[in-house]
Chains A and B, each alone.
Chain A
Amino acid sequence: MFDALTLSELEAVRLSLKVACASVVASLPFGFALAWLLARRQFPGKSLLDAAVHLPLVLPPVVIGYLLLVLFGRRGPAGQWLDETFGVVFAFRWTGAALACALMGLPLLVRAIRQSLEAIDRRMESAAATLGAGRLWVLASVTIPLSLPGIVTGMLLSFARSLGEFGATITFVSNIPGETQTLPLAIYTYTQVPGGDPQAMRLCLFSVLLSLAALLASEFIVRRAHLRVFGDAH
């Protein structure tokens, strides 16, 4: 009995890590593209886009979950198209949990990347162009390396946010053990069952340790990235 419980707890931890990693990796190209647009381009509706990107920070997560259901559910316009074109399904699958996390973490990702992009001296990119580098090469060899600390920070913030995501996930893909029952959902479930407090407490400890590890790792990684890029520690 004890073993079985621990097994399902580990399942929740494993699922949380899988979902968080997937959500960060999947949202990175979009996050970078949005940050680049907002940092570098002027266009009509720019402030609207900026506000839209920040919506997941201010809207209740349940609202985000509901919107995901409407758009990416089985009958949602985006959900149907993705299913027909790529065979990607979000409903009741861990991919849906990852999508919810990706959306909730997006504002943090975009903000961090945007800040580091704005800090780059744009004439560096002009200099690279005069040396023969085309636009994509400039992006790959100058812009991205120089904004790397910001990119890493954004990824880690988004990862941490994903570890704690609850409202959007449970509304969009419900609480399926092994599939969508990430750590926060598992803890919640244990608190709702009479006598489930010890398990809930144990998972809470897991959660705290995991978050601490993520934060400490982030400090280390960001500093390393800065050193690599700029040749000094700050």
Chain B
Amino acid sequence: MRFRLVFLLLALAISGAARSQSLVVFAAASLKNALDDVAAMSPSKPAISYAASSALAKQIESGAPAQVFISADLDWMDYLDRKKLIREGTRRNLLGNKLVLIAPADSAVKADIGPGFPLAKLLGGGRLATADPASVPAGKYTKSALEKLGAWDPVSGRLAPADNVRAALLLVARGEAPLGTVYATDAAIETKVRVVAVFPDGLHPPIVYPAALTASAPPSGAAADFLSLLSSPAARKRFEKYGFTPLN
């Protein structure tokens, strides 16, 4: 009798798991709050995994069962495209963003981002919290911008390279680092940081969030529907609310 009960429970659990083989979306960490909000509008309840775009791309390359991928830069989408891991014709540029310099909310530091930007001096003895410049989009944009300003060399040894942009945000929010670079949208949702300055557009490649179906996703179905939803007017309004720039 006991055995039968256990079997029944197991069967229910397995079937439940099978049924919840719903939509899996991989999205850049900076999309967390906004995308959750948008996903709530979707009839399918997608399971969204947020991490650095680099980490996600590598996981998809290793066979992760994601069906939709939203990256925070073009490089990582190109990377998967080259490896034929993206469904042809589904790729589109979804959103834009800005890079900002932040400080803890109680910090009084002032700065203007331009040539001769004294970042090293502003840091004092502390470190600049940023997503890993070697791989994570937010870090790459930062490095690109600082190199253009001639401010990269003095600070390259004074970084606190974080796993993803939200981890960098955390370090500044906790006052661990006196300064950090994150997206404007990240700064907007975190009350414990304040924006010191915005990085002018030309200093780094345009911040573009491309979205696409992965090669393992069927051309039509829940995944495709979700992708369309992301570009819908309703969704664009939501993204705008968080500070993203919807693209065409």
Q: How far is it, in angstroms, between the C-alpha of A192 and the C-alpha of B131 when the chains are bound?
A: 12
18 A–B pairs (Cβ distance < 8 Å), ordered by A: A66-B170, A69-B174, A74-B174, A75-B174, A75-B176, A91-B176, A92-B127, A174-B129, A174-B171, A175-B132, A175-B163, A176-B160, A191-B58, A192-B55, A192-B58, A192-B134, A192-B135, A193-B54
B150-177: CB near A (< 8 Å → 1, else 0) gives 0000000001111100010011001111
Residues of B within 8 A of A66 (CB): 170
- Please tell me if the beta carbons of B163 and A171 are within 8 angstroms of each other in the complex: yes
Q: Which 7 A-B pairs have the closest CB atoms?
A: A192-B135, A75-B175, A174-B160, A192-B54, A175-B161, A73-B176, A174-B162
B-to-A contact residues, CB < 8 Å: 52, 54-55, 58, 79, 127, 129, 132, 134-136, 159-163, 167, 170-171, 174-177
Residues of B contacting A175 in the complex (Cβ-Cβ under 8 angstroms): 132, 161-163
Shortest C-beta distance, B197 to chain A (Å), equals 23
Complex Cα distance A69/B54, Å?
25
Which of B132, B170, B176, B177 touches A192 (beta carbons < 8 Å)? B132
The CA of A51 and the CA of B210, in the complex, are separated in Å by 46
Give the complex CA separation of A91 and B126 in angstroms.
Answer: 10
How far, in Å, is B140 (CB) from chain A's closest CB? 11
Contacts of A192 in B (CB 8 A): 52, 54-55, 58, 132, 134-136
Rounded to whole angstroms, the CA-CA distance of A73 and B159 in the bound complex is: 16
CA distance A114 to B134 in the complex (A): 44
In the bound complex, do residue B132 and residue A189 qualify as a contact, i.e. CB atoms below 8 Å apart? yes
What residues of A have a CB within 8 angstroms of the CB of B135 in the complex?
Answer: 189, 192-193
Residues of A near B54 (CB, < 8 A) are: 192-193
Q: In this complex, what residue of B is CB-closest to A178?
A: B157
Q: Which residues of chain B come closer than 8 Å to A92, judged between CB atoms? A: 127, 160, 176-177
A17 → chain B closest CB, angstroms: 22
Residue A39 lies at the interface, judged by CB distance under 8 Å to chain B: no
- Tell me whether A69 and B160 are in contact (CB under 8 A): no
Interface set of A (CB-CB < 8 Å, partner B): 66, 69-70, 73-75, 91-92, 170-171, 173-176, 189, 191-194
A193 to B132 alpha-carbon distance, docked (Å): 10
CA distance A50 to B11 in the complex (A): 37
Within 8 Å by CB of A193, from B129, B134, B160, B174, lies: B134
CB of B90 to closest CB in A, whole Å: 22
- Which of A75, A174, A191, A194 is the one whose CB lies under 8 Å from B167? A174
Q: A175-B132, A189-B134 are in contact. Are A69 and B52 (CB under 8 A)?
A: no
Interface pair A194/B52, CB less than 8 Å apart: no
Measured between beta carbons, the chain A residues less than 8 angstroms from B171 are: 69, 174
Could you tell me the distance between the alpha carbons of A135 and B134 in the complex, rounded to whole angstroms? 56
- Knowing A176-B159, A189-B132, A189-B134 touch, does A73 contact B170 (C-beta < 8 A)? no
Residue of B at shortest CB range from A91? B176
Contacts A66-B170, A189-B132, A189-B135 given; 10 further ones with Cβ under 8 A?
Answer: A69-B171, A73-B176, A74-B175, A91-B176, A175-B162, A175-B163, A176-B159, A176-B160, A191-B58, A192-B52
